Each structure stands twice: as C-alpha cells, then as structure tokens.
Amino acid sequence: MTIKENFELAKQTYAKWGVDVEEVVEKLKSVPISIHCWQGDDVAGFEVNQNELSGGIDVTGNYPGKATNAEELRSDLEKALSLIPGKHRINLHAIYAETNGEVVERDQLEPKHFENWVKWAKENGLGLDYNPTLFSHPKADDGLTLSHPNEEIREFWINHCIGSRKIGEYFGRELGTPALTNIWIPDGYKDIPSDRLTPRKRLKESLDKIFAVETDEKYNLDAVESKIFGIGSESYVVGSHEFYLNYAMKNDKLCLLDTGHYHPTETVSNKISSMLLFSEKLALHVSRPVRWDSDHVVILDDELKEIALEIVRNDALDRVIIGLDFFDASINRVAAWTIGTRNMIKALLYAMLVPNEYLKQLQEEGNFTERLALMEEFKTYPFGAVWDYYCEKMGVPVREAWLEEIRSYEAEVLSKR
C-alpha cells in the first residue's frame, strides 16, 4: 500500500474516536521547535580566545566532521532542517558570536556580532533564541558567576546578561518573532556548603540588576533555568528549582524546565500542569538524562510522549516554548539533530492523535478500567502512517530514508573537514 492509502486507513481508525487527522496535521505545521546550535560543535563555540569547556558540562565522543566555524555550523543546520518537517527556530549561545577575528569579551558583545545569524535566519524563515554563556571562561573557573563573592566578577556576568537580553531583543525585532533569552548558571559547590543562603541572596540581587534594564516583551522573553546538581556542584547548586520557580513567579519571568536537571525519579511531564495553572507561559529544554544530566539525544520514550501529552491535552501548544538541549559527539552530529527533533515532533503528533477529551471524561466518571485500557490501546494505533504522510507532505524523507542523505553529506562535506 502507498503512504497515502495507509494514511486514509489511519484517518478512518482515528475518526471513530472523533480525531480529525487532517486537522491535526495542519496544526502540527505551526508548532516550532527551538533547535540548539551547540550540538553541531560540542558546545565549543567560536570565540577567538576559545576556552576549555567547563561549568559541569561534558561532551563525550570524537566523531569526525564537527563544525569549526559559524559558516560550517549554519551549513550543518541547513542540512538537518531539510530532513525535519515544519518551520522551526535556532537557539544560540553567546559563544557563537562572529567577531571577525577580534577578541571581544562577553560583557562587550553586541547585536552586530550576530548580524550573520540574523541574515541567515531571515533567508531561511527561522526564529532565533539566545543564551548568555556563563561557563567556559576564566571568570567562571571556580564554579561561581552571578553568585560570586567577588563583586567585580559578578558585575562582569551581570553586564553579559544585560547585553544578552539586548541581543535577544534585536533578534525578535529583526525576525518578527520574540526571542527566548534564557539564563542558566553553573554556580554551586562540590561539597556540603556551610552557608546556602548568602550565595542565593547574591544571585537574587544579580538577577534584579539584570532585569532592571528593560527590554520590549514583544521582542524578548526572559527565562531562568534551574538545576539539581552538576559535575563540580554535586552537593549544592545556587540556582535550584525552588529558587528559580519563586523568582520567576514573583518577577513575571518564564521558568525553564530542563528534563535533565532534576532528581532521576522526578519527571518534568508531571510538573507542566502545575506550572500552567500559575504561569501564562513556560519553557522547556528537552534532553535525555541517563542516570544524570548527560544530555543524550532525545528518543521517543515514555517520558517524551508524556511531556507532549501534557502540552497537548492541556491545550498549551501556544503557551509552552519547546527547545532541545543535547550534545552527543559519539555519533554524526547532523544525524543527532535530525533524530532528536523528529522525535520531539513525533511525540507531539502522537499526543494530538489521542482522544484526550474522551479520556478526561472517563477519569471524571471514575471509569478507570476503560481509561487504562484505551490509553494502552492507543499506543499501537497507526500513528506511524500519519507520521509518514506528514513527512511526505512537508517534503522531507519518509522513515529512515533521511539516513542516506546523512551518509552523502558526511562523505561529501563532513569527512573533508
């Protein structure tokens, strides 16, 4: 049978439950995923005075062909985007500025250092998001930045974050879609602290100074990101979930939930509904932790499906900003982008094909037998036929056919670097 014929059969199957598959496919087109640029070069960046990766971040593997400059990175992103259905966004870090060989300190970065990225985004119909880079720098060598006891070091990072929000605002104004500017810091201690409060007071004061400088929310959205622990901050992280949750709520900022930044038994999917009750918007960095925040390539596992279900069943596709955050150097980096992003979109499609309203009704009626039975049955409904049709309709390879394009790109481009 053809892809179209399989799709028509799937339509009939889902229609029995009141799911309009054609409507679902149209709606999915409008959901952007913010694809992280740093998968393409192992979070190295392109600073002239490039520093060793630090801040509790680790990238393992040495697969050949990583991007060595911004032009190569953009080329790799274009290849990945050609294999991913839909129109999406690109998420940049400050270390991806282009300074034409000039050493520019991070607190001196300006919109002009990202003009090439904006021009490229316009040409490709992409939005841009942004992150100040508060790691891999001599002023972060001791694991403290915005909470540092040294005021001069704190001011350096405060100014970097202020400048970053201006850069995000520039992205939004130029591209007609607001940039999410997200602040994550590595601050913490390896061993048990004798004072947990003082560093958090300094962090709060630093954030207050950063956000005292106004940006236009039409163009820039501010987010703060927590973490439970990291390499070198196993015992204490200044920017904990409780700290940032409270800060975001009190100061009308977005709270960003990274799926790798919690205790191994915690799930971000379980937090989404609570957050939506009290926040107009929230942001996600979707990763795959393997026993820790190891940032493996996103796969179509139960938690990814549950995250998508929580977004869809709560009618929050326009309230949850979905970004990705993984970096695997043990496999082809362009393939990693393709696998992870396609899986995020697959999870959303899966969630949109479930008759969520009927399942809610069963729960309200106390009919837990039918609820469980149907939730399990829908796991093997012909969602794959709809996915194949969606890919074909969007002009990207169907099923594993995209692998051949990756092989060709590796042979013709990546292997020659």
Catalytic positions, written as ranges: 184, 225, 227, 258, 261, 285, 293, 295, 325
220 forms bridges with which residues in the sheet? 179
Residue 288 is classified by DSSP as: B
Alpha carbon 140 to its chain's center: 23
The end-to-end CA distance of the chain, in Å, is 42
Would you list the DSSP string of 332-352? -HHHHHHHHHHHHHHHHHHHH
Reading the block at residue 267, the tokens are: 């799930």
C-alpha 75/C-alpha 81 separation (Å) is 10
Number of residues that this document lists for the chain: 417
